[in-house]
Amino acid sequence: MKRKRKSKRQKMRRIKAYAARTVFALVLLAVFGFVIFSGIKIIGAFSGLGKSKAIEGNELEIHSDGSLTEITVDSFDTVEYDADGLKKMAEDEITSYNSEKGAENAVKLTGLNFKNGYVTMTIDYASAEDYSDFNSKDLKFAELPDGASALSDISSKISTIDGGKVLTDEDISGLKGHAVIVNDDTTVVTPKKIRYISKNVTPVRSKQATVKSGEKPAAIIY
């Protein structure tokens, strides 16, 4: 039976609480500088997430092979909290998941950077299933037209980017390409141009859109 995992924001709060106790026990040990390890990626290359300290949020980059990269930016005081504790906690969570999964790189921490009171965390996932299981969030990929049935549970009708045309069931059944189905407040970057979206999706660029969570998931078709 799979263990229920907490969201990344919940994990960060739990890590911060742990770190605060650690710092107090060590007479307010100050942690300064960057925590950098091999495999760090350049953050924010595709949308600017993480470039400004005023930006907090989450971004998912979908790759053409079905894997994905998640970038999370959150506030983190490296003087008050233990940066090494955050790194260790994240690595332990990932190691535990990979061990249960029986796959060494199902989830992989590829970047952890502290700057200007913010932490930017980059994690690679081998599949949408790994992302969903690790974070206890809904995320699915569907190859169209075979996977068109996966679009039946979205939050609203699917339309063109400009909203000029709402697709009928017959239109949807004949679609070709790929769809990402997600229920979270996040930004999604696709490997190809976005062609259709559901109501609670806002296009940003040709391959980028923001999603708002709701009672049912949203869909982006590319």
Alpha-carbon span 98 to 102, nearest angstrom:
6
Reported as a single tens digit per residue, the pLDDT across 192-217 is 999 999 989 999 999 999 999 998 89
Query: DSSP state, 164?
Result: S
Tens place of pLDDT per residue across the chain (222 aa): 445 555 555 555 555 444 444 433 333 333 323 333 333 333 333 344 544 344 789 999 999 999 999 999 999 887 777 889 999 999 999 999 999 999 999 999 999 999 888 999 999 999 999 999 999 998 999 999 999 988 987 867 899 999 999 999 899 999 999 999 999 999 999 999 999 999 899 999 999 999 999 988 999 999
* Backbone dihedral angles phi then psi of residue 88, each to the nearest 5 degrees: -65, -40
**Cα torsion at 8, 10, 13, 15 (round to 10°)?**
-60
- Domain coordinates in residue numbering, the chain: 8-39+48-135, 139-221
Under 8 Å between Cβ of 81 and 88: no
Q: In the prediction, which pLDDT does 50 show? A: 43
**Which pair of structure tokens corresponds to residue 151?**
């679009």
Which residues neighbour 146 within 8 Å (Cβ) at sequence distance 6 or greater? none
* E-only strand ranges, 84-215: 107-115, 118-125, 139-144, 158-160, 177-182, 186-189, 196-198, 201-205, 208-211
Burial 139-178 (b: 16+ CB within 10 A, else e): bbbbebeeebebbeebbeebbeeeeeeebeeeebeebebb
Structure tokens at 119: 């932490």
